[in-house]
Amino acid sequence: MTPETETPIRGNNPYTQSIHEHTDLIWMDGVPPQEEFESFREGDHPLVLDLGCGAGNFLRDSALKFPEERFIGFELRYKRLVLGARKMKKWGISNVRLSKMRAENLGKWIGLETLDRVHVNFPDPWPKKRHRKHRMIQAPFLADLQKLLKQTGVFQFKTDHKEYFESVVELLKETSYFEVVELSWDLHHSEYKDENIYTEFERLFLNKGMPVYHLKARPCPL
């Protein structure tokens, strides 16, 4: 999978130290011990990933809405991981773990046809043409994701960046990895709005009157 670029660690960043206070929720090495991972999923609970989870609002609200599911949020920034962990503890949430790991490494410990849902919410759009190679959603990403999702699983994508959304829609058409089952160019004025769970960025965009683009896709048979 194609990673997004990690923000360099600054020497005076207090979160590089405080993150170690939350190792019960944050897998610092990215890949959790197998025993710990199996314990987290005990009972074969549905497994949901949030790639680029930010400070955890979407994870918190998803975990509260679906307590029977198990959620893992992936984030590269120390501050957001710490804020996310604090949020889960404040709300007494036990069905969430956070991981400081690049998306390209998921296949090292997530088995084939293991995932029930994967969310990519408002990733960096890398708007300049010369930087678009850094975008998360590209053909190799979709090829890997198709294999990791269950055949009944779904991939969901939200963004405020129209060109990025258009390129993803076109990419899904060009490849044979996924079939789009929901598509909206203005999520909050669509039939899908009632099922939507907000992110931090999403509320900011809505307050500015900006549309949110949304799609849901199912993996095509391997």
- Residue 43, domain CATH: 3.40.50.150
State the greatest distance between any 2 C-alpha atoms of the chain, in Å, as a whole number.
Answer: 49
Any domain includes 148: yes
Q: Is 124 a catalytic residue?
A: yes
Burial of 209 (C-beta count, 10 Å sphere; 0-12/13-18/19+): exposed
Any domain includes 1: no
Any domain includes 9: no
Structural domains in the chain (count):
1
Tokens of 119: 């969310």
Q: What is the DSSP string of 157-188?
A: EEES-HHHHHHHHHHHHHSSSEEEEEEESSGG
Any domain includes 33: yes
119-132 b/e (C-beta count within 10 Å ≥ 16 → b): bbbbbebbeeeeee
Any domain includes 201: yes
Any domain includes 202: yes
Tell me how far apart the alpha carbons of residues 82 and 201 are, in angstroms, rounded to a whole number: 18
Choose, from 44, 116, 124, 144, the residue flagged as catalytic: 124
Any domain includes 7: no
pLDDT in tens, the chain (222 residues): 444 444 444 457 888 888 989 999 999 876 777 888 888 988 889 999 999 999 999 999 999 999 999 999 999 999 999 999 999 999 999 999 999 988 777 887 888 999 999 999 999 999 999 999 999 999 999 999 999 999 999 999 999 999 999 999 999 999 999 999 999 999 999 999 999 999 998 998 988 889 999 999 999 998
Domain span at 161 = 15-219
Indicate the residue type of 110.
I
Q: What is the pTM of this model?
A: 0.91
